[in-house]
Amino acid sequence: MPALTPDALRAAVERLTPSRMPAFVRDLVEATTSAQQVQSLAPLRTFVHTWGVFVAIQRHPSRAARLRCLEEVVDSGKEDPLEAMAGIREIHAAAEAEAGL
């Protein structure tokens, strides 16, 4: 797991999911701008948390694939989403623990 810094997370995103780089850069710019406007580090903390969890999930292809499947179940609305939502929470909790969040 990379350090929870914008530079380390950027390198991880570039390596793991290069297609997500535009979203990463957009979120970083928004967090930085917001932090300056409100004079608080909270937006940057949120950014690091969000992308730290993302990287922790993407580092494990099977975990990332399982998350996509569970999200599809929820998004489709074709079946009861409760079990899928519980699975999503478990994946996010494991990723947060792995990232030290």
Tens of pLDDT along 20-61? 999 999 999 999 999 999 999 999 999 999 999 999 999 999
Q: At what angle do helices 61-76 and 82-99 cross, to 10 degrees?
A: 150
CA-nearest of 35, 33, 47 to 4 is 47
- Give the pTM: 0.90
Task: Say how far apart CA 37 and CA 42 lie, in whole Å.
Answer: 11
Under 8 Å CB-to-CB from 56, ≥6 apart: which residues?
1, 94, 95, 96, 98, 99
